[in-house]
Amino acid sequence: MDIKRIAITLGLSLLVSTAPVAAFEGEQQLYDAAKKEKEFTWYTAHYGSETAAAVCSGFEKKYPGIKCNYIRTTAQVAYQRLAQDMKANLAVASVFSSTDVSHHGRMKQDGWVQPYRPKNLSELIDTFKGFNDPDGLYVATAAGLVLITYNTTLVQPKDAPKKWTDLLDPKWKNHVSIGHPSFSGYVGTWVVQMRKLYGWDYFKKLELNKPRIGRSINDTVTMLNAKESWVAAGPSATTLQSRDKGNPLALVYPEDGAILMVSPTSILKNAPAPNAAKLFEEYLLGRECNEIMVKLREDSVNKHVKPLPGARSVAEIKTIRPSYDEVEKGIPEVKELFRETFGI
């Protein structure tokens, strides 16, 4: 960690400790009830393992006496584990956070989750409010962006693509990197949105540039760092984390809109620790947690917490996103189309 980062971190933590932290109504009662439960388990696919660890230990610091156990995996694995628990009638997890909204929709249908309307909802950035479940069965607690990324040693900022259609320019032939919708919900949502904006023709033209197709969206970071690709449809958080270390990467917020990924959290009906789960959901929306998240380059969902330099707040940029229905119906369709067009 370089001095600058330490200074920023210190500065931020000072800010946090001096600013009055808005406690929500009924916090103390909930905390008291949660303390009796002692610990809870959180299945999460929301961020990298380091961020998940930091979020958990932040919670333990804020609410001493409650242990936060996290199982961080990819969305499919998290859901599969939960499905197995349910089948075996095991109550393990209290809180479940997938990056795939259809998981939460299905859990609602199957009656695996219980409603809760966090008091901290007023802190949520307005953009996200429309994504919460009207019945309170899931709430957006994390966000991410798919945008254009590039390697700065190979591409000058002025030459970098400005909008999604710029990736079709023949000058990027053999040098574009993308993920695969079968392996990444981020990529799937991006593909659905591109089809909505420009029709499937967008991908037929993209194929003329012979993109390098990885598995997860994070593979684009490896491709750019390896100089195997020059430009990519990549994620904001992972790219910025890698850039913070000094890797030659940069972001472009596309003129036609960065794809906004909203990732919800639910409380399970059979939660062994329902009160701790509710308290944790409040915490995920609150300031302390989002301060931790932006330090690790995740996007904040709390309207009072601004990102570190180098990134822009979701509230300030142009974001686009297909609706839940479009995602749920669209992803299986585009997977087939994708295989047809790219042969994989």
Partner 1 sequence: MRWRHLDRSLVVWILLAGALLLLVVNPLARLVWSSFQSEAGAFTLANYAAAYGRWRYVEALLNSLVIGLAVGALCLVFGVPMAWAVSRTDMPGKGLVWAAILGTFIVPNYLGAVAWILLAGPNAGWLNRLYKGLTGADAGPFNIYTKTGLVLVMASYSFPYVFVFTRSALDLISSEMEDAATTLGAGILRTTLRITLPLTLPAIMAAFIVSFLEAIALFGVPALIALPGRFQMMTTTLWEFFEFPPRVQVAAAYAMPLLGITALLFWLQQRIIARKGYVALTGKGGERRLLRLGGWRWAMLGYCLFVTSLSFFLPMLVVLQAAFAKAWGRGFSLDNLTLGNLKFVLVSQPITRAATVHTFVYGGVAAALALGLALAIAYIVQRRLVPFGRALSYVAMAPFVIPGIVLAIGFYAAYTAPPLAFYGTAWILILAFTTRFLPIAYANSEAALRAINPELEDAVRILGGGRLMAMRRVVGPLLKRGLAGAFIVVFIPATRELSSAIFLYTTGTQVLSVLLFDKSDEGNFEYLSAIGLILVVGTVALVLAGFRLVGRDFMLRRTTA
Binding site for partner 1 (CB under 8 A): 1, 41, 48-50, 53, 69-74, 76-77, 79-81, 83-84, 87-88, 90, 92, 100, 102-103, 106, 151, 174-175, 180, 182-183, 212-216, 218-222, 224-229, 238, 241-242, 245-249, 335, 339, 342-344
Exposed e or buried b per residue across 21-46, where buried means at least 16 C-beta atoms within 10 angstroms of its C-beta: eeebeebeebbeebeebeebbbbbbb
Tokens of residue 220, six digits: 């684009």
Residue 90, number of CB atoms within 10 A of its CB: 12
Least distance from partner 1 to the Cβ atom of residue 256, Å: 25
Nearer to partner 1, 136 or 248 (CB): 248
Q: In angstroms, what is the minimal distance from the CB of 123 to partner 1?
A: 27
What is the DSSP track for 59-123? HHHHSTT-EEEEEE--HHHHHHHHHHHHHTT----SEEE-S-HHHHHHHHHTT-EE----GGGGG
**Least separation, in Å, of the C-beta of 331 and partner 1?**
8
Q: Which is nearer to partner 1, 72 or 321 (CB)?
A: 72
**Cβ contact 174:144 at 8 Å:** no
What the block records as the tokens of 296 is: 């690790």
Q: How far apart are CA 220 and CA 235, in angstroms?
A: 8
Beta-sheet pairing, 212-213 with 249-252: unpaired
Query: What is the nearest approach in angstroms of partner 1 to the Cβ of residue 270?
Result: 15
Shortest Å, Cβ 105 to partner 1:
10
Please identify, using beta-carbon distances, which residue of 29 and 49 lies nearer to partner 1: 49
* Residue among 1 and 3 whose Cβ is closer to partner 1: 1
Q: Which helix (H) or strand (E) holds 206?
A: helix 201-208
Spatial separation of the C-alpha atoms in residues 36 and 291, rounded to whole Å: 28
Query: In the complex with partner 1, which residue's Cβ is closer, 229 or 265?
Result: 229
DSSP-assigned letter for residue 168: G
CB under 8 Å to 270, separation ≥6 — which residues? Answer: 91, 112
- E strand or H helix that includes residue 232: strand 231-235
User: Measured from the CB atom, is 9 or 29 closer to partner 1?
Assistant: 9
CB of 271 to partner 1, least distance (A): 16
Give the shortest CB-174-to-partner 1 separation in angstroms. 6
Min separation Cβ 343 and partner 1, Å: 6
Q: Would you say 161 or 179 has its CB closer to partner 1? A: 179
Nearer to partner 1, 235 or 257 (CB): 235
In this structure, the strands spanning 95-97 and 258-268 are antiparallel
